Structure 1
Amino acid sequence: MTFQSLCPTDLITVLMTLGDDAPHVALLRHDRDTPPLEESHHSLQKRLCHWAETLTHCPIGYMEQLYTFSSFPIREQTPHIHITYLALSHSHPRGCHGSLYQRFPWEDRRDESGNKQLAEFITAIRQWADDNEERQSRIAPAFGLDGLPWDDTRVLERYELLWESGLVPRSPPKQKNTDRDDRRLLATALSRLRARTRYSPAVFELLPSSFTLLQLQQAMETVSGRLMHKPNFRRLVLHQQLVEETGTYDRPTVGRPAQLYRFRPAAMASCYLGAAFLPLDVPTL
């Protein structure tokens, strides 16, 4: 399968997994320099999914189209089109991948250094927006100011405001290819993932088939970048009957064995794990 366009076009799969303390990502670019996609699948998404699994040896449990971006590389006047897909897996892909919170440390509100940087950014961006009503109207909902709640899905809005105000560069330090607007793409992917975990069972695609309730809570905390109240989280999960017991136990080297659970497919339409419904232990800025 080949692409013909008035401007260069490539396909990008943003493969998201869970690391020990952050969402991890691998960017898989299918462009003119990679082999053509096989035609054994009847949709572009299925072809990309098969190609990504073959490339990374990583099973993909969920995939959806993310966004279509355009960019103007340095010294070029023809735009490049990037058609992107978001994929989720419980396994770590082979090849280069890294922590999203290394790129967006202010999005991890579980961490003292992340909260400190966010507080510094808020002070600076308030000064940037001073006496400008349009700017003030944008930063208030993005950063949870003036009595508005913090919305963890506004990752892209926060990044673009920080870039516009000059507080962060378009590309992170030491990134070799500054032509690529990777952080805008990654911010979009993290926003989508966080939104998905509010009203769909997306988080279960990042976990193995059997897991403890603590592992489920830690996965939600990792994705949202916020701490959750343990008893209330467990009460919500069990009240919605999102999981069922497997009859087996996780047997750690230290401590008591923990009951293992699995997701109940029957709860697909009633999965609400959104942070808006959960008390959170979030440091006050």
Structure 2
Amino acid sequence: MNSSLVIGLSAVVVAIKDGEAAALTVRHKAASGNLTGLPFGPFDPDGHRTFELALRAFVTEQTRFDLGYVEQLYTFGDKGRDAPLADLGDGDAAARVISIGYLALAPAAVDTHFAGSTWRPWSQIFPWEDWRIGRPPALAPIETALRAWSGGDAQRLARARLLFALDDAPWNEERVIERYELLYEAGLVQEAARDRGETAPSRSDQLIAAVGEAMISDHRRILATALGRLRGKLKYRPVVFELMPDAFTLSALQRTVEAIAGVPLHKQNFRRALERAELVEGLGHLDAETGGRPAELFRFRREILGARPVSGLSLPLLRE
């Protein structure tokens, strides 16, 4: 039997809220339970001129938030995974949904004032990804569960060690999607049982909290892809400044980078790297609202974009 193809557009909108990296989420009509998802909608080839314009319209309609910086992320359409849900109207119920994900960055987590939309910290969705104050507590029950899942299989255990920094293996902050996919394969996240049409196995309260909040459809997979992409781009493109206001302190910039990367940075080395890259310029006046000693305000030298090759930021980790 033939089924039609529907192209869906989903947006990962990122901003910093209360010192945390947060994603804009919504509650869709099609969602079951109390789960949230990403802003999402179907592409209409007759009514929409481009994918990006359609995406911007969906986000504004569903959240009352207007997008700024946007880039295409990835195309998701694996058979056997719950396709991203949307109100598809009277279309073919058997339609296969191909979802095109977009990454959008905002300089402020503006209150959307729209029912069902909220900024949700990444740490609630991926608790194992935040190493800013040390090894996350979530990793303890995850490690126990992954070792049990491996059943002594050397290949499985090696993957768990590599991705989740077990047995003193180094942590690679960019491998977010690989870590989520391993938890999915091991059946530790709620989405896995749902997609397989199975009843979720009983788990301890510690493990339930450790694997984070589930999302509708395949939206947590899309979000994991976006987080990994953004962490990588920090190092080779100055995208972090899309998350900053026009004027900022260097401390605020460092905290933003740390919130996205999920790792602590060495203050002096971070500032030396900024100076070498010549990405920022002092404004000659101080921020008196820091709550302590006034700090100098800086701006991103946006005029250099296109004038010369521009790199991202070095991430000098703080070593204990």
TM-score bracket, shorter-length normalisation:
0.7 to 0.9
Instruction: Give the SS at the match of 1:92.
Output: coil
SS at match of 1:12: strand
Instruction: Choose the corresponding residue for 1:67, options 51, 57, 74.
Output: 74
Compute the displacement of 1:233 (Å): 1.1
Cα drift, residue 65 of structure 1? 0.8
Deviation at 1:175, TM superposition (A): 7.4
Of 8, 11, 24, 2:9 maps to 11
Deviates more, 1:237-246 or 1:212-221: 237-246
Match of 1:103 in 2: 125
| 2:280 equivalent to 1:243 | yes
Deviations 1:248-276 (A, max 9, x none): 2211273222111111232773333243x
Distance 2:11 2:222 in 1: 11
Query: What are the residue-to-residue correspondences of 1:29-44 with 2, within 5 Å?
Result: 29-31=40-42, 39=49, 43-44=50-51
Deviation per CA, 1:34-87, whole angstroms, max 9, x where unpaired? 9x8554xxx43245346645765545442111111124469x765322111111
8 A Cα contact 2:189 2:214, kept in partner: no
Q: State the structure with bigger RCO (CA 8 A, min sep 6), 1 or 2.
A: 2
1:177, distance to aligned residue in structure 2 (A): 7.3
Alignment partners' CA distance in 2, 1:148 and 1:125: 15
Q: How many residues align?
A: 269
Give per-residue Cα distances to partners, 1:79-117, cap 9 Å, x unaligned.
3221111111112241413111101111111256x7111
Cα contact 1:49–1:63 (8 A) shared by 2: no
1:1-285 equivalences in 2 (<5 Å): 6-26=4-24, 27-31=38-42, 39=49, 43-49=50-56, 52=59, 56=63, 58=65, 60-70=67-77, 71-72=81-82, 78-93=95-110, 94=112, 95=114, 96-97=117-118, 98-111=120-133, 115-145=136-166, 148-170=169-191, 178=216, 180-252=217-289, 254-265=291-302, 266=304, 269-275=309-315, 278-281=316-319
Residues in 2 aligned to 1:240 and 1:177: alpha-carbon distance in whole angstroms? 39
Q: CA deviation at 1:140?
A: 3.4
Segments of 5+ residues of structure 2 without an aligned counterpart are: 25-37, 86-92, 193-207
TM superposition shift of 1:138: 2.5
Residue 29 of structure 1 aligns with an amino acid whose one-letter code is F
Q: Measure, in 2, the Cα distance between the counterparts of 1:57 and 1:235.
A: 40
Amino acid at match of 1:86: L
Cα 1:269/1:91, change in 2 over 3 Å: same
Give the conservation status (yes or no) of the 8 Å contact 1:155–1:188: yes
Once residues 187 and 154 of structure 2 are traced to their aligned partners in structure 1, the CA distance between those partners, rounded to angstroms, is: 19
TM-fit CA distance, 1:137: 4.0
Q: Deviations over 1:162-200 (max 9, x none)?
A: 22223332288997975x122111111111111111111
Alignment root-mean-square deviation, CA: 3.2
Q: Which moved more, 1:154-163 or 1:262-271?
A: 262-271
TM-score in terms of structure 2 length: 0.72
Give 1:219 shift: 0.2
Determine the structure 1 residue equivalent to 2:197. none
SS at match of 2:183: helix
**1:8/1:60 CA distance change after superposition, 3 Å:** closer
Partners of 1:207 and 1:273 lie apart in 2 by: 14
Normalising by structure 1, what TM-score? 0.80
Q: Give the 3-state SS of the residue equivalent to 1:195 in structure 2.
A: helix
CA deviations over 1:205-260 (Å, ceiling 9, x no partner): 01101110000000011001111111111111112212111122211273222111
Determine the structure 1 residue equivalent to 2:89: none
